[in-house]
Amino acid sequence: MQQKAIETFLRLFGCSHILFTQPSPTRVCGRVAWADAPEHFQEFAADTSQRPLTDDSLALAEFLHAHNLVDIDMISISRSEVLKIFSLAGHSDWTPDRLNAALDDLEEFRVHMVDNGEETDIFFLHE
């Protein structure tokens, strides 16, 4: 699992500072913080065994982030609206099936929140 994919995914949640730490064969770990409170951070861990994000899901994540289409952990518009805006932005070759597959990948991806060494919550995206 690439750190770039995790970084792209975590930016969907408004994380402005991402630091990777403690590399291991089974987990990618680090901490994130937000611009309005950089001194308060959240540790995270992602399992390397989960299915990696596809290039399409990463492109869609970057688009959703750039256009502020995620509110906390929820996509703020419908799939059909995402496809319409995405198409108008120059991705007219994306079919509904291709968009659905990319969104499904994003919604299945998980990064665990870690507090005091314990997994306490999860970063995940939903509609």
What is this structure's pTM? 0.92
Mind listing the pLDDT tens digit for each residue in 7-55? 999 999 999 999 999 778 899 999 999 999 988 999 999 999 999 999 9
Over residues 73-101, the mean pLDDT reads: 93
pLDDT value at residue 1: 54
What are the pLDDT digits (tens) for 90-115? 888 999 999 999 999 999 999 999 99
Which phi and psi angles does 23 have, rounded to 5°?
-65, 145
Q: Is 12 helix (H, G, I), strand (E, B) or coil?
A: coil
Tracing tokens 């291709």 back to the chain, one arrives at: 98
- What Å distances lie between residue 56 and 9, 52, 61, 69, 71, CA to CA? 13, 11, 9, 17, 21
Residue ranges per structural domain of the chain: 3-123
pLDDT score recorded for residue 24: 86
